[in-house]
Amino acid sequence: MADHCTVPYKTAATLALAAGLSVSANAATLKVGDILPADTRFTDSAGAAHTFADYRGKPLVLEWTNPGCPFVRKFYDAKAMQQLQAETTAKGVSWLTVNSSAPGKEGHLSADSAPAAVAKEGWNGTAYVLDGAHGSTLGKLLGAQTTPHMFVADAQGKLVYAGAIDSIPSFNAADISKADNYVRLAADAVLAGKTPATSSTRPYGCSVKY
């Protein structure tokens, strides 16, 4: 399993440290406080073109994914990610799920394979972005390092959170209900007109397969 992931499964402390080292060695192009460039273009699993300008006026969550990653499977097999997507979008937040796996790499989805794969997951977001099929533009722009790696922006496109989905870095689905979900907390804060209490954490998971 270690070949899938940023680090082998040992302890929460080991995972968090290793993920943090990975991120520090690859500084993100954008950081918390920066504005998502309005003219950045990307394509979804249905072949539709988007820009970040299309998402102004509502808060936005960006979720990096890889359907072959055990950390991603932790949340999708437990239906926790789909529940969070549905809950968050129902509150008026847009949700982009981004697959930056390059052709030939684990988790890559092509325009032909994506629709069936996305439907099978029971995905509940706003758009599923085939980033890896188009040069991984978004992944490189935000410096996404792991799957999952989560970002939250306010209605003006300013990044207000970047990092882990929650506070317990493990493969164990039983930990989901015990953890602080940083994405839910950040989205709720933005919807209430507040700054998230936690704006940055160390992401954990599999390395993005650029």
Q: How confident is the model at residue 193 (pLDDT cuts 50, 70, 90)?
A: very high
Percent with pLDDT over 90 in the chain: 86
pLDDT of residue 153: 98
Decide if pLDDT at 196 tops 70: yes
Decide if pLDDT at 9 tops 50: no
Decide if pLDDT at 4 tops 80: no
pLDDT of residue 24: 33
- Written as six digits, the tokens of 28 are 């993100």
Q: How confident is the model at residue 5 (pLDDT cuts 50, 70, 90)?
A: low
User: What structural domains and CATH numbers belong to the chain?
Assistant: 69-210 (3.40.30.10)
pTM: 0.87
Question: Per-residue pLDDT averaged across 48-54, rounded?
Answer: 97
- Written as six digits, the tokens of 103 are 């052709």
Q: How does pLDDT run across 125-147, given as a tens digit for each residue?
A: 999 999 999 999 999 999 999 99
Q: How confident is the model at residue 29 (pLDDT cuts 50, 70, 90)?
A: confident
Top-confidence residue, 21 or 7: 7
Question: Per-residue pLDDT averaged across 87-96, rounded?
Answer: 98
Q: How confident is the model at residue 111 (pLDDT cuts 50, 70, 90)?
A: very high
Q: How does pLDDT run across 99-109, given as a tens digit for each residue?
A: 999 999 999 99
